[in-house]
Amino acid sequence: MKWLSSLFGRTGEERSVSRRVTHERPLVIRNPKIGILNFAGLSARPLIEEDAAALKPLFADFVESDGDTPTCDVLMIYATIETNGTIQNASHNLREIIEQARAPIVVVATENDAPSYIAASKRPGLGRANLVMTLKRNGEALASFCKDLFGMMQRGVTMPMAWVKLAPQIPGMNHQKVPETICAMEVTHILFD
């Protein structure tokens, strides 16, 4: 039965990607679950409330934690990342958290600088995901962008294709109402169903 799950979507504990994902053979996540992981404490509450209001209606389940990593399909992390790549108030590094969550999509939703993200993404660990790292939220742009991105994924557009439609990857192009992010598409083509 595991082979059926890998072909037609994942349920329960079967959340790791075990096959090559392509545009023709996307990873389809049925009844996606979003998780919030807050290492930033009370300072992140307004951001979490803003993002939850925008994103919660798009997901079958929503879970929030201030410490234990939730198992989910999309993980939103609120944290300060140090220049050496460690995460303040966390006992695990970014790759370990991704592995624990078993999330193929991870968004660091708080603003950090590029050198910190580079250090964090290179730290050892098996976790890989379509990893979105926020440099500047630009007001409500991150919540709005994620809502549009995940909505398109529910309508049959894979994550990389939806990303390019929302923020065309043309050098020098000025994007309006879009957050500044670094995105590493490590899993690539993911859809929601």
What are the two backbone dihedrals, phi and then psi, of residue 66, each rounded to the nearest 5 degrees?
-105, 15
pLDDT of residue 171: 78
Q: What is the tally of structural domains in the chain?
A: 1
Q: Which domain CATH number covers 136? A: 3.40.50
- Would residue 26 count as lying in a domain? no
Q: How far is CA 142 from CA 56, 69, 133, 146, in A?
A: 14, 22, 11, 6
pLDDT tens column, 81-135: 999 999 999 999 999 999 999 999 999 999 999 999 999 988 777 889 999 999 9
Asked whether residue 92 is assigned to any structural domain, the reply reads: yes
Buried b (16+ CB within 10 A) or exposed e, 38-48: bbbeeebeebb
Instruction: Please count the other Cβ atoms lying within 10 Å of the Cβ belonging to residue 74.
Output: 27
Structural domain that includes position 119 = 31-187
Name residue, tokens 């708080």. Answer: 110
> For position 172, what pLDDT does the model report?
74
Residue 179 forms part of a structural domain: yes
What residues have CB less than 8 Å from 94, skipping those under 6 apart? 77, 81, 85, 87, 108, 120, 121, 123, 125, 127
Q: What angle do CA 9, 10, 14 make, to 5 degrees?
A: 150
| C-alpha angle 95-117-158 in degrees, rounded to nearest 5 | 70
Domain contains 12:
no
**Residue 169 identity (one-letter amino acid):** Q
- pLDDT tens-digit map of 43-78: 999 999 999 999 999 999 999 999 999 999 999 999
Work out the average pLDDT over 15-22. 68
- Decide if 21 is inside a domain: no
pLDDT for 17: 53
Task: Count other Cβ atoms within 10 Å, centred on residue 52.
Answer: 16
Question: Considering only 52-66, 142-156, 170-184, which range has the smallest mean pLDDT?
Answer: 170-184
Whether residue 16 lies inside any domain: the answer is no
| Helix, coil or strand: residue 190 | strand
Q: Is residue 132 part of a domain?
A: yes
Nearest to 55 by CA among 139, 177, 151: 151
Does residue 14 fall inside a structural domain? no
pTM of the predicted model over 0.85: yes
User: Alpha-carbon Rg of the chain, whole angstroms?
Assistant: 16
